[in-house]
Structure 1
């Protein structure tokens, strides 16, 4: 006899939602047919609760409250009120599932043009392109504990490193022209160092997506939808280069054209602020452009450049795996395009290939030979032509695609 069968459905639901870890949940639904039936009907909501427990939002709230506790007395009341109401800013909000959704997509360049909707609840997380809902959040409950830990460590180390860089620290520096000292470093594996680079590339790509949505960027069709329109051309067809969309937006290519990388070193706080603007609203979009312009003109003050200050790779720490070792052998470090493609596809985080399209990593991670050949190919654009910067820019333009459709319609 199932004792839970006598309880009202509302109470059964409360019981399921109160469980914070997977093992007790599994044991309970095995023992109770009534709870198992209810679990199946509300599985998505329960899984999101379990993921939230994995992320331990409450501990994040405590940690943020401690780290950001104000020195000035007049700010402490509001700070403690925000902590009590669990309203401290969570630096991982939206990014945890989004990076994996983009990395494992059948069309990463399309997904990377989108940004996480930070206004959405955790239960309704999704990405947007100029306010339009595009993709539901990645199911992070299917990650292994190792994968989850690897990601969280990389994200938190990246954010801490950004704060150190932003403070103007160097490997050896003199705060306030006082006694010099060396920045302490934590020893990590080469894989963890590569994970930090993946997070930096991901944050750069968020700035690139913001540039794109402020400009005239075209969002490609999903890969399963047939289209007669020309798509993005190489290398845009493989990865999002934030500097390309910066130029499309009209930001001058000064200082090496690395604005996204310079902004990324300011960490998640700036990203969170910029994602708060709704680019589908003309007034908010204009305000965002003004904010970006101000950031651009402050560029000389953004020095020093981003680098890993608080970590050091130790040859004595190993963190190997079949897929990581295989891809590491394939990666040609001197080829920047290949490195960025691998980093945008989160090559260091997963234990195996199960989450990649068709579970075949060779299609998702191009070889150096493939990339060289792809760059030399002729492209079809009003006839066969060499792949040029002009043609690539047109294929990225929403206006050009609109005009192309009109032309195709009039020809028909």
Structure 2
């Protein structure tokens, strides 16, 4: 049966709509659409009329046009809707009292990518914390986890490395929808309950990847234009913590990695091809490429590198592939491989790679060239698994 997102469930249920009697606000972005490509804000204007009083945007903005970390967006009045659009990636990550004034129901409709390093889940949890002492109901219009809702992968965050790309003790592939993440926050981290509900999807199965849903994919952030980019995101996002390009400034961002000092064919034929076979990692192929970034790292410099092709998404383990490839390139590139230096996501002390990984142990694993078996020691999931099973909605 056709999957209906939380937005579509709301729009098609007149009885449900009657439960929201006061003023409403909407946190959304470019990918907040229905199955007919209608934007959530347009639907809200039709549904709530003058009671639709405020819009909010997450990182990358309401229009999803702001690039990269630490690129803030401004508060504006929308020229069509004639209501304020507040940025929650501006001088504040937390909505202020003034922003929340006059709101009875705060809807959240964001397409997440199922990876701990993606900030939209923390925009939600900061909103929940802010609303603890307010008479505001927070409602998530749920959407699919594009990496499926069953597979868990990667280390659990060490709280010492908490940041806006990792606030909570969850693994890299956390398996939750946005609504479920809100459930976990309320049950285990909030300390105080608020008015919170999830308008669930209909007919979504946890085993589904996004392409299995047959829903339209619109980029949820500027460099994830394709579903394939979301699949490889847990691999390539790791390279944001290095001086290697993760493909920003190309048409295949977050599917490729490279550097001006890499000769890709020599590295692939001379070492990486056989090394990948020895790891036992499945569902992935590396292809030697050259590319020219038009902005960000190595702008206007030809880079050699590799495209990560997912040949079997059910067997593909993106976090392991990324850690392995980083370790190999650290040694193959010798002194040309360098860690990116602070600041990163407003942390001026810790190395960006440690913030991204949520631990410094993985960096040490790379530097010490330890065996692949060491990766298994980072996966103490039991506490998380217990929580995960307790908050599932589907």
TM-score (ref. length: structure 1): 0.27
More helix by share: 1
TM-score (ref. length: structure 2): 0.28
